[in-house]
Copies of this chain bind each other. A is one copy, B any other.
Amino acid sequence: MVNDTTFKKKDALVVFSGGQDSTTCLFWARERFRSVEAMSFAYGQRHRVELESASQICKKFGFAHRELPLSGFAELGGNALMAQMPVEGKGPLGLPNTFVPGRNLIFLTYAAAYGYQKGIHDIVTGVCETDFSGYPDCRADTMIALERTLQLGIEIPVKIHTPLMNLSKKETVELARDVGALEALAFTHTCYEGQFPPCGECPACRLRAKGFLDAGVVDPLLARSHSI
């Protein structure tokens, strides 16, 4: 792992869902930047519990946190992460019906716009190409194109950091351990069904379990589930 100290004079804004990946990014950023702020989006997601996780983690672990309401997606409607649809099946063009078109593009553009006003030009996102579930807005080529668009369109030297882009789920768990994020992962939300203890059966739960298994680490979320 690169022990990069060049960011120590800069501040970072982490796009923060309250899930495993963005929580890992939050602690990754804390190790590297002078200060770290988290930004969550209330976009009409299926499970309000995600936002509660985000808020709880920021409070417990001392991160500044801002929640931005985005009404647009709920109005557009029509996918399984927001409406009352089953999370199986395909949407238009064969993408999973959990695909909210343009979601990460919108989140990162708002983050950059907020950063413009606060003088923060380093944006961190937990998108990952390796396990991207078919979401095209998680891929490296998309992020590179978006970074260029934001640099041109907002006229700021914005940099999009994607520390998980090329990691397997196993490696993401190892990174979480290395940056001291494991304790916080006990409070993250992953389950598509919005359950706590997690359902263990949905694609998101299964992917998470495999990562911890492969890394040989006990998922602190499960430990917490069993303790209640």
B residues in contact with A92, CB < 8 Å: 116-117, 119
B residues in contact with A142, CB < 8 Å: 149, 152-153
Scan A76-120; emit 1 where CB is below 8 A from any B CB, else 0. 101000000000000011010000111011100110111011010
Cα of A110 to Cα of B71 in the assembled complex, Å:
11
B residues in contact with A102, CB < 8 Å: 109-110, 112-113, 116, 150, 153-154
Cα of A155 to Cα of B109 in the assembled complex, Å:
18
Q: Can you report 22 residue pairs joining A to B where beta carbons are below 8 Å apart?
A: A68-B72, A69-B71, A69-B72, A70-B72, A71-B72, A72-B72, A72-B110, A76-B113, A76-B114, A93-B116, A101-B112, A102-B112, A102-B116, A102-B153, A105-B149, A105-B150, A106-B106, A106-B113, A136-B153, A137-B154, A145-B145, A146-B153
With A93-B156, A102-B150, A145-B152 already in contact, 14 other A-B pairs whose C-beta atoms are closer than 8 Å: A68-B76, A69-B72, A70-B72, A76-B114, A92-B116, A93-B155, A102-B109, A102-B113, A102-B153, A105-B109, A105-B154, A106-B106, A136-B152, A149-B149
